[in-house]
Amino acid sequence: KLTQSGNTCINGTYTNNGKSLKTLSDKSKELMKQRKGLPIYEVKKDLVNYLRKNETNILIGETGSGKTTQVPQFLHEEALLKNGSVVITQPRRVAAISVATRVAEEVGCNLGGLVGYSVRFEEMVSDKTRIKFATDGMVLREAMLDPLLKRYSWVVLDEAHERTINTDILFGIVKKAQRIRKEKGKEPLHILIMSATMNAEKFSSYFNDCPVLMAEGREHKLDINFTNEKQDDYVLSCLSTVVQIHQEAPVSDGILVFLTGQEEIDNACLAMSKIVKRMDSQNCLAMKICPLYASLPQHLQMDVFQAPPLKERRVIFSTNIAEASVTIPGIRYVVDSGKAKIRTFNPSTGFDVLKVRQISQAQAWQRAGRAGREANGTCYHTYTEAQFEKMTMMPSPEIHRSNLSTVVLQLLSVGVTDVMSFDFMDRPRQDSLLKAIEQLLLLEAVKKLPSGELQLTEDGRKMASFPIDPRYSKILLMGPKYKCTHEVLSIVSMLSGEQVLTTPSGKMRHVAVAKHKKLASVEGDHLTMLKIYQAFKASKQNKAWCHENFLNYRNLVYITSIRKQLSELCVKAGLEMLSSSDNMDDIRRCLLTGMFMNVAELQPDRKYLTLAHHDQAQIHPSSVLFNSHSSYVLYNEVIHTANSYMHCVSWVAPEWLYEVAPEYFRTHHIKANAAVYAKKK
Ligand code: ADP
Ligand code: MG
């Protein structure tokens, strides 16, 4: 039943409406029947009436009730889209692609027909597309060119509880677009905000006290379990829970385990496969173990959305990328560690810190919700109910814990000039905003008008048209000046792509290391990337060559496609496509134009101090410069784990610093080589 409420925050009641399915041979009939069994479908008429009546609505319904896949179809079927179309935002690309694929199947069209998707570096849409799933970042980019979002009559902000930066900006933008379209007497813009778990009161009050609709009931039962006692080692408890399930459940029941990051997941996969090997092979079923995280090549990510294997149990170890929105076929069990890796920006140091943190209750419900989508499911949280009760209700808005320079650039390019007073649902910290503005001023992407207002510069406007970090887009912009547009394009593409070096474990490891060494450049990691890209190109994108050299073929192909797109954007931005492949100095000078604030200086004690904040940092062991002692190095980022490591490092000459950013280095003096500075002046 559909109820309207003003102020409830619900987080799932786990009741069972007890519907079961019979298999029908006809696929489309079967899909239709599945659709009709969803709780949302039962309230379709009521829901459509509300949606027709109000310009803005909030819809809360339990995980699996059919919000994401059904509501966009309702809008289409009931002619609510009029002449426009609907875009549904998704917090992650796997979600956008997999959900679009499902809805296209239900509608009975090809992807890119009536139903399509749009994610960074990849789009499947056509003139026919009326229902489009997109990452929030992509919709934001569209808003840059068209702040009134004229091609849409509906914007659905899905999984709104996640509060990604992009979603938060979109809130302000769609709200404003709706108001202005109304004032100008244009076709109205309808807004729908959806989630299973959200602070409805807060959202409603932000969206001018719009109604909150609650679709009750769930199709399948979810059995929720907590541990009796606190666990010391969450990875271990996850593994032993999987073993238990594996011994008891039928082979077709898939298990989805939520851990925190790539390394932990790779290790857990390895440990799991060893455990299974040691288990009694007579009584033990085979197991197919799959990792799932954002830096995994896309085709491997999408593999888990295929039908599960028949004679093996599928166990997926995932980060929170599978936490919301998605339906993974065959998953009947979820094992939740209660942890996630969260990127946090520290405005006083400028560092991004990755830390394993406790998730929120909303995320725990979402995780549990990944089971019980196609049939009854079970979730094991590897922590106590008391611990659950102590978790915060909602994740903290990402905007409160991130580098905001991209955000500010985006705001400015969609016409928000007074960034400091933008209609944020939760205002970012003042110091973080100022820091971001400072970085953009340094990059000369923005300038301050005498009125104090910020204005995008010509460069800034160009930079905003690239879907990458402003530091990287600045480098591309400076390519022509240093006659190396092609080279920096390759490097930036490599930086935007996924890991290309593959390092096997065991005996082959040192063979791989030796091969990689051959590709290494003495200047550092950036030029090594260039060398690898060029060698790949020279091999004519040869798969066997990649294999021989322990390089990931797919990732390199993907990087090639990123490069192609960035290259098209360069041409659009009017950049001259020049090349100087033998001038390694100029390439690094060019890199410095975007990253001069990421320079560290070697100290007499052989440790590095960053110039920006005088923090200690070491070169990460994965760098080709590990164990080398250049006086000055450029780094991509410093990640604080137990130690502070600089990732992706190249050596630079001190005089370049003054050449590239004289203003900056007047205030951030380099110490050991003060003499150089004096000479240069
Ligand atoms: P919600 O957004 O409310 O969490 P969805 O609309 O994503 O729910 O999904 C509703 C239901 O549709 C799922 O519980 C599942 O039964 C079915 N479904 C969705 N996607 C798929 C898929 N890819 N494969 C099989 N069933 C799916
Ligand atoms: Mg959903």
Residues, beta carbon < 5 Å, ion ligand 2:
67-68, 325
Beta strands in 275-330 (DSSP E): 286-292, 312-318
Between 165 and 446, the higher pLDDT residue = 446
Average pLDDT for the chain: 89
Predicted TM-score of the model (pTM): 0.79
Q: Is the pLDDT of residue 539 over 80?
A: yes
User: Out of 16-25, 26-35, 600-609, which region has the weakest mean confidence (pLDDT)?
Assistant: 16-25
Share of the chain above pLDDT 90, in %: 69
**What's the mean pLDDT in 314-343?**
95
Which residue minimizes the CA distance to atom 12 of ligand 1? 66
Share of the chain above pLDDT 70, in %: 92
User: Out of 38-52, 481-495, 558-572, which region has the weakest mean confidence (pLDDT)?
Assistant: 558-572
Q: Provide the pLDDT confidence category of residue 207 given band limits of 50, 70 and 90.
A: very high
- How far does residue 141's CA lie from ligand 1's centre (Å)? 28
- What is the three-class DSSP state of 455? strand
User: Out of 2-6, 380-384, 437-441, 462-466, which region has the weakest mean confidence (pLDDT)?
Assistant: 2-6
Per-residue confidence (pLDDT) for residue 213, from 0 to 100: 96
Say if residues 190 and 154 touch (Cβ distance below 8 Å).
Answer: yes
Ligand 1 atom nearest to CA at 62: 3
Pocket test for ligand 1, best of 198, 373, 376 (most atoms within 8 A of CB): 373
Q: Which ligand number lies closest to the CA of residue 328?
A: 1
**What's the mean pLDDT in 144-162?**
94
- How far does residue 346's CA lie from ligand 2's centre (Å)? 32
- How far does residue 327's CA lie from ligand 2's centre (Å)? 9
How far is the CA of 609 from the CAs of 90, 299, 616, in angstroms? Answer: 40, 40, 5
Say if residues 147 and 117 touch (Cβ distance below 8 Å).
Answer: no
Ligand 1 atom nearest to CA at 66: 6
Say if residues 220 and 372 touch (Cβ distance below 8 Å).
Answer: yes
Ligand 1 atom nearest to CA at 158: 2
- How far does residue 149's CA lie from ligand 2's centre (Å)? 23
Q: Which ligand number lies closest to the CA of residue 159?
A: 2
- How far does residue 324's CA lie from ligand 2's centre (Å)? 7
Which residue minimizes the CA distance to atom 6 of ligand 1? 66
How far is the CA of 430 from the CAs of 170, 404, 434, 435, in angstroms? Answer: 20, 11, 6, 9
Pocket test for ligand 1, best of 2, 36, 42, 69 (most atoms within 8 A of CB): 69
Between 263 and 15, the higher pLDDT residue = 263
Say if residues 632 and 650 touch (Cβ distance below 8 Å).
Answer: no
Which residue minimizes the CA distance to atom 20 of ligand 1? 327
The interface predicted TM-score (ipTM) is: 0.99
- What is the three-class DSSP state of 74? helix
> Each residue of 543-574: pLDDT tens digit?
999 999 999 998 899 889 889 989 999 999 99
Rounded Cα gap, residues 312 and 425, in angstroms: 47
In eight-state DSSP terms, residue 348 is: T
- How far does residue 38's CA lie from ligand 1's centre (Å)? 9
Rounded Cα gap, residues 269 and 392, in angstroms: 30
Ligand 1 atom nearest to CA at 220: 14
Per-residue confidence (pLDDT) for residue 670, from 0 to 100: 64
Name residue, tokens 């705001």. 411
Q: Provide the pLDDT confidence category of residue 680 given band limits of 50, 70 and 90.
A: very low
**What's the mean pLDDT in 511-517?**
93
Ligand 1: residues within 6 Å at CB?
A: 38, 61, 63-70, 102, 327, 329, 373-374
Q: Which ligand number lies closest to the CA of residue 377?
A: 1
- The token pair at 431 is 């110091």
Rounded Cα gap, residues 382 and 395, in angstroms: 19
Per-residue confidence (pLDDT) for residue 12, from 0 to 100: 31
- The token pair at 442 is 């340094």
Q: Which ligand number lies closest to the CA of residue 65?
A: 1
Q: Which ligand number lies closest to the CA of residue 370?
A: 1
Instruction: Pick the closest to residue 491 from 580, 546, 443, 559 (CA basis).
Output: 559
**What's the mean pLDDT in 410-439?**
86
Between 367 and 669, the higher pLDDT residue = 367
Which residue minimizes the CA distance to atom 27 of ligand 1? 327
- How far does residue 349's CA lie from ligand 1's centre (Å)? 43
User: Out of 132-141, 275-284, 424-433, which region has the weakest mean confidence (pLDDT)?
Assistant: 275-284
- How far does residue 342's CA lie from ligand 2's centre (Å)? 22
> Each residue of 575-593: pLDDT tens digit?
999 998 678 999 999 999 9
**What's the mean pLDDT in 655-674?**
78
- How far does residue 336's CA lie from ligand 1's centre (Å)? 20
- How far does residue 209's CA lie from ligand 1's centre (Å)? 29
Per-residue confidence (pLDDT) for residue 585, from 0 to 100: 94
Pocket test for ligand 1, best of 327, 332, 366 (most atoms within 8 A of CB): 327
Which residue minimizes the CA distance to atom 5 of ligand 1? 66
Which residue minimizes the CA distance to atom 25 of ligand 1? 329
Q: Which ligand number lies closest to the CA of residue 33?
A: 1
Q: Which ligand number lies closest to the CA of residue 330?
A: 1
Per-residue confidence (pLDDT) for residue 47, from 0 to 100: 96
Q: Is the pLDDT of residue 273 over 70?
A: yes
Rounded Cα gap, residues 415 and 461, in angstroms: 11
Per-residue confidence (pLDDT) for residue 22, from 0 to 100: 35
Per-residue confidence (pLDDT) for residue 328, from 0 to 100: 97
Residue 305 CB-density burial (10 A; 0-12 exposed, 13-18 middle, 19+ buried): middle
> Each residue of 225-235: pLDDT tens digit?
999 999 999 99
Q: How far apart are the first and last CA of the chain?
A: 76
- How far does residue 327's CA lie from ligand 1's centre (Å)? 6
Rounded Cα gap, residues 294 and 171, in angstroms: 25
Ligand 1 atom nearest to CA at 63: 4
- How far does residue 69's CA lie from ligand 2's centre (Å)? 7
Vertex 336, ends 335 and 342: CA angle to 5°? 145
Q: Provide the pLDDT confidence category of residue 602 given band limits of 50, 70 and 90.
A: very high
- How far does residue 267's CA lie from ligand 2's centre (Å)? 30
**What's the mean pLDDT in 52-63?**
96
Strand order in the sheet with 56-61: 2-5, 212-215, 56-61, 190-195, 152-157, 85-90, 131-135, 115-119, 122-124
User: Out of 48-52, 350-354, 509-513, 520-524, which region has the weakest mean confidence (pLDDT)?
Assistant: 350-354
Instruction: Pick the closest to residue 657 from 573, 598, 579 (CA basis).
Output: 598
Q: Is the pLDDT of residue 156 over 50?
A: yes
Ligand 1 atom nearest to CA at 373: 14
Say if residues 476 and 466 touch (Cβ distance below 8 Å).
Answer: yes
- What is the three-class DSSP state of 344? strand
Per-residue confidence (pLDDT) for residue 640, from 0 to 100: 80
